[in-house]
Structure 1
Amino acid sequence: MDLYTKNWFEQHGECLDEWQKSAYKDFVNMMGDGENPYPCIPGIQGFLSNTLRFGFAGSPKDEGSYKQLADLLKQYGKVSRNTGKYASLVVFFDSRELVQEEATIEEYQDQFWTILNQVHKLDEEEWPEHIPKEPHHHEWEFCFDGEPYFAFCATPAHVIRKSRQFPCFLIAFQPRWVFDEINASTTFGQKLKRAIRKRLNAYDGVDTHPALKWYGQQDNYEWEQYFLHDDDSSLSKCPFTAMMNKFKKIQS
C-alpha cells in the first residue's frame, strides 16, 4: 500500500480508480469550501501545507482491508514526524457496496470498531508503556506500532452532524504528538478550541456532542470521540476489547 500527498494527487491523480479519484475530490471540496468552512482548522492547514498523507483501502467489510490499513499505519508512523506539525493520515475505504446497501450509522460503527480491533491484532509492537491499556481511562488512546493516534471516523450515513459525513467511509489518524502545542494547557490551544467549537456549531447546525472534551480531562474518554452518533448519545462501553482481554489474560 502507498501513502500519497496532495502534491502527488495534483500531478498523478488521473491514474487512480474512479472511486479513489471521487473520494479525494470530495475531500478537496470539503477542505476548500470557503463559504461553509470545515471546522477542523489544523486539518485545513495540514491539507494546504501538504502535511497530510492519504491512503486507500478496500471495503470495510473485507478482511483484506485490515492488513491494508495496518500496512499504511506502519508506513505512516515512520514518516509522520517529518511531514509537518499538523500531521494526519487520511484513509478512504471502498464503500460502494455499503452505500448501495444504505448501511446505517450503527452498521458503520460496527465496521469501524471491528477494523480497529482487527488492525490491533496485526500490531507487532508492544503497547506503549505511557498509554493506559484500559479504554475507560482518560489518557487511553488507540495505538499502533508504538504510536498513539486519535482516530476520527466519517461515514455516508451521518446526516445531522455534517462534520462526520463523507461520501465514503473515512478514518483519519492524528498522531498524539500533534496535540502537544494545541491542548488545554496552552493559550494557543485554548483559543484554537474556541474557534473550532464555534465553527463546528455553525457547520453542523446543532450543539457540540457532549463527548467532545480535552485529552487528559478526568471525564474525557477518547474512544467516545472516535465515532460520534448523529444524536447526543454514546455507547456505554468501548468496543475496543482486544487489548483489555489480552491484558486480563496476562494478569490472571
Structure 2
Amino acid sequence: MGVVFEKNWLDQHLPSLPLWQQNAFKDFSLMIADEANTFPCIPARTGFLSNQLRFSFIGDPRELQSAKALATCLKEYGYCARSAGKYTSHAIFFETPKDMLENYEVEDYRALFWTLLNNVTVFDEKEWPREIPSDPSVHTWEFCFDGEPYFVFCATPAHQLRKSRHFSTLLMAFQPRWVFEDINDTTVLGQKLKRLIRKRIDLYDAIPGHPDLKWYGQKDNYEWKQYFLSDDEGHSPSTCPFLRGNLQLTFPKERNN
C-alpha cells in the first residue's frame, strides 16, 4: 500500500486507519461535500465528488521526519496526478496534537507552514524547473517539487473568521499548475469560476475575501501570499519566508518534553 490514497479507497477502508486519520478524512468529507453550506472552491468540491482528489496522512508537523514523509507523498502523487483527472489536487492531513490545538495561533501555524515547505525541498532530488523563477518576488514564481509546479493551500485549526481556511487539523493541499491551464483569467470558464468562487467566499467566511487572492501570472499577484492567508481582512508578510533547501531544525512553540 502506498502513501497516497483515493477517496473511494478511503470510503471502503477507513475503519482500518488510526482514529485521528479517520476523523480528519470524515471532517474533510463533511466540509467539502456539505450541501447546505457549500465549500467555496468549486474545482476542489468537483474533484472530491468525482474521486479525483488524492489524500495522505503525516505525523506531527513539528518533526523533521514529517518533512521527509511529505517529500515521499509529493513524489508518489506526482506519478499519478495526471491520471487522476483535471480537477485533481493532493490533500495532506497532519496529526495535530492537543498541545498544538490549545496553544498554536494563526501566526504559529504560518511559521510552521513555511518551515515545512523549506524543509521538504531538502529532499527534492530534481532541479528547479527552468520555466519557473526561483525568486518568490517575481510574479510568475510558484512552489515546485520534483520538477512540478504547485499551488499550495493551507488551513489550520486556529483560523476562525476565515472559515474557508479553517480545518480540524493542519491541512496542506498541493494543486498542480497544469490544472489551471483552462481555469485562469484569460478563459471564459476561468472568469466564470472566479466570480462564483468569490461570491461563495463572501457567503462562507465571516470577513471579506482576502485582497491577495488573484490569478497566477498577473503582475500584481504573488502566489506565495495566497498559500497561507491571515485570519483578518488583509494582513500578509512583506517578504516571502521560502528559502529552498534551507533546513530548519527549530519549530515554533516546540513541545515541552
Q: Same fold (TM over 0.5)?
A: yes
Tell me, which stretches of 5 or more residues in structure 2 are unaligned? 247-257
Query: Displacement of 1:243 after TM fit?
Result: 6.1
Amino acid at match of 2:221: N
Structure with more helix by fraction: 1
Query: Displacement of 1:96 after TM fit?
Result: 1.7
Structure 2 counterpart of 1:35: 36
Structure 2 counterpart of 1:187: 188
Q: Is the 8 A contact 2:101 2:157 kept in 1?
A: no
Structure 1 distance, partners of 2:53, 2:71, is: 18
Relative to structure 1, is the Cα distance of residues 97 and 63 closer, same or farther in structure 2, using a 3 angstrom cutoff?
Answer: farther
User: Which runs of structure 2 are paired with 1:98-247 in the superposition (5 Å)?
Assistant: 98-231=99-232, 232-242=234-244
Structure 2 distance, partners of 1:205, 1:95, is: 25
SS in 1 for 2:57: strand
Are 2:47 and 1:46 aligned?
yes
Amino acid at match of 1:237: T
Q: Is the 8 A contact 2:164 2:201 kept in 1?
A: yes
Query: Displacement of 1:35 after TM fit?
Result: 1.0
Structure 1 distance, partners of 2:155, 2:77, is: 20
Amino acid at match of 1:5: E
Structure 1 distance, partners of 2:194, 2:235, is: 22
Structure 2 distance, partners of 1:54, 1:67, is: 16
SS in 1 for 2:11: helix
Q: Is the 8 A contact 2:185 2:215 kept in 1?
A: yes
Structure 2 distance, partners of 1:2, 1:217, is: 35
- CA deviation string 1:51-108 (max 9, x = no partner): 0000000111011100110000000111100000001000000002444442111110
Structure 2 distance, partners of 1:100, 1:188, is: 39
SS in 2 for 1:242: coil
SS in 2 for 1:50: coil
Q: Is the 8 A contact 2:119 2:245 kept in 1?
A: no
Q: Bigger shift: 91-100 or 23-32? A: 91-100
Structure 1 counterpart of 2:65: 64
SS in 2 for 1:179: helix
Query: Displacement of 1:206 after TM fit?
Result: 1.8
- CA deviation string 1:101-143 (max 9, x = no partner): 4211111011100000000111000000000000011110000
Query: Displacement of 1:219 after TM fit?
Result: 0.5
Structure 2 distance, partners of 1:114, 1:142, is: 13
Query: Displacement of 1:11 after TM fit?
Result: 1.0
Alignment size in residue pairs: 244
SS in 1 for 2:153: strand
Structure 2 counterpart of 1:12: 13
**Identical counterparts, % of pairs:** 55
Q: Is the 8 A contact 1:156 1:165 kept in 2?
A: yes
Query: Displacement of 1:31 after TM fit?
Result: 1.1
- CA deviation string 1:222-244 (max 9, x = no partner): 00000000111000100002369
- CA deviation string 1:148-205 (max 9, x = no partner): 0000000000011000000000000000000000000001100010000000110003
Structure 1 distance, partners of 2:129, 2:49, is: 32
Relative to structure 1, is the Cα distance of residues 96 and 191 closer, same or farther in structure 2, using a 3 angstrom cutoff?
Answer: same
Structure 2 distance, partners of 1:94, 1:213, is: 30
Amino acid at match of 1:106: E
SS in 1 for 2:103: coil
TM-score by structure 1 length?
A: 0.95
SS in 2 for 1:75: helix
TM-score by structure 2 length?
A: 0.93
Coordinate RMSD, CA, aligned = 1.1
Structure 2 counterpart of 1:79: 80
